[in-house]
Amino acid sequence: MQLALYEPLAGYYRQGVRRIGRAGDFYTSVSVGPLYGELFAEHAAGVWTAAESPERFAILEQGAHDGTLARDVLEAIHRRHPELAARLTYVIIEPDETLREAQQACLGPELSAHLIHAATWAQVPEIQGLLICNELLDAFAVHRIEFTSEGWRELHVTTREDGTFEFVQEVPSTSALQVELERLGNDFPAGFVTELNVAMLGWLEEVSQSAFTGEILLADYGHAAREYYIPERNGGTLRRYYQHRTDDRVLEDLGEADLTAHVNFTRLAEQAVALGMTVTEFIEQGRFLTHVAARLLRQPGFSPDPAWMRQFQTLTHPGHLGHAFQILALQKGGTESKAELDAGRREAALRRLGMESAPIH
């Protein structure tokens, strides 16, 4: 999966800028229109104000693709929050030079004045702000696993005589995977197939060790652990997206199809707590964006046009994107005190995640 997605010049995400929307393989919230970025901009302004409007503030993004979300966020901040715009740095963590050039071109000369690129989290400067990751973690390579009469086995990939691929049962390939299998336990029927996203745990550790402090917003599709491993989900969530069709034929059209798996948000939140972060919210995208939009709608003179309302409905309606996507909010360091954290939101998040006893760091 790592090769199929990220191998230079051959992987799905390493062949230049992928088209998203009607002309591509899938839709995202960003492809709905600029409102998604506008609402994140409004949230970022709230984070800046809550931090007592520091002289230096950053919005960070990883998984920025062609820079469309960055452009939408920056345009909205310039339009509605000029004081924040004057103090703002936009940091994109991106190792791919082709995508960096596309992001620069998308922002244009004026907005690019805010832009800093970092190839890795180790290169991110010491800065306070808001990290946004939109559909990043679902694109990490996962380990596919199957429970057998002898315990968990990893499903490796091998080649048939005709050159096609197939899965075969083997022992776990890494010690990190073995640790996660032990955490998962053995209360599963024989033949149960699912996946483990070990890479996202390592990624969060990189974020925790970086010089960035502030709020982290992780927007993706996924479940709490108690929903992730229900019997009806035998087969897991690993899917391919190819020409606006989705199926489980994940060993076909490699390099030309997107491969993705849902996020286990409980495991991600557990890792965050273990790394010293605080879980502040876990909420459906529709509800999160509605709360942000409510602040806009209360502003004097704000009157949404029909295009705004159409985009809002697509982003928030349970039948569209509002229910399918979740947002996990974390707090990493910073100046926000424990007393200032919204206890009600935090308790609701921990209940949804099945983590009622998680400590506040």
Answer whether 145's CB lies under 8 Å from 181's CB. yes
Per-residue confidence (pLDDT) for residue 68, from 0 to 100: 96
Query: Collapsing DSSP states into helix, strand and coil, what is residue 169?
Result: strand
> Using CA atoms, how far apart are residues 356 and 354, in angstroms rounded to an integer?
6
Q: Which has the closest alpha carbon to 77: 102, 28, 110?
A: 110
Per-residue confidence (pLDDT) for residue 359, from 0 to 100: 59
Per-residue confidence (pLDDT) for residue 243, from 0 to 100: 81
Question: Tens-of-pLDDT digits for all 361 residues of the chain?
Answer: 999 999 988 999 988 776 665 555 567 899 899 999 999 999 999 999 999 999 999 999 999 999 999 999 999 999 999 999 999 999 999 999 999 999 999 999 999 999 999 999 999 999 999 999 999 999 999 999 999 999 999 999 999 999 999 999 999 999 999 999 999 999 999 999 999 999 999 999 999 999 999 999 999 999 999 999 999 999 999 999 988 789 999 999 999 999 999 999 999 999 999 999 999 999 999 999 999 999 988 988 888 999 999 999 999 988 878 788 999 999 999 655 444 568 888 999 999 999 976 655 5
Per-residue confidence (pLDDT) for residue 180, from 0 to 100: 98
The reported pTM is 0.94
Per-residue confidence (pLDDT) for residue 338, from 0 to 100: 45
Q: Which has the closest alpha carbon to 352: 332, 326, 325?
A: 326
Q: Where are the beta strands (DSSP E) in 25-84?
A: 57-62
The DSSP 8-state label assigned to residue 319 in this structure reads T
Amino acid identity, position 80: R
Query: Collapsing DSSP states into helix, strand and coil, what is residue 178?
Result: helix
Residue 71 is encoded by which pair of tokens?
A: 């452009």
The residues, any chain, with a CB within 8 Å of residue 317's CB and separated by 6 or more, are: 286
Per-residue confidence (pLDDT) for residue 337, from 0 to 100: 44
> Using CA atoms, how far apart are residues 83 and 49, in angstroms rounded to an integer?
11
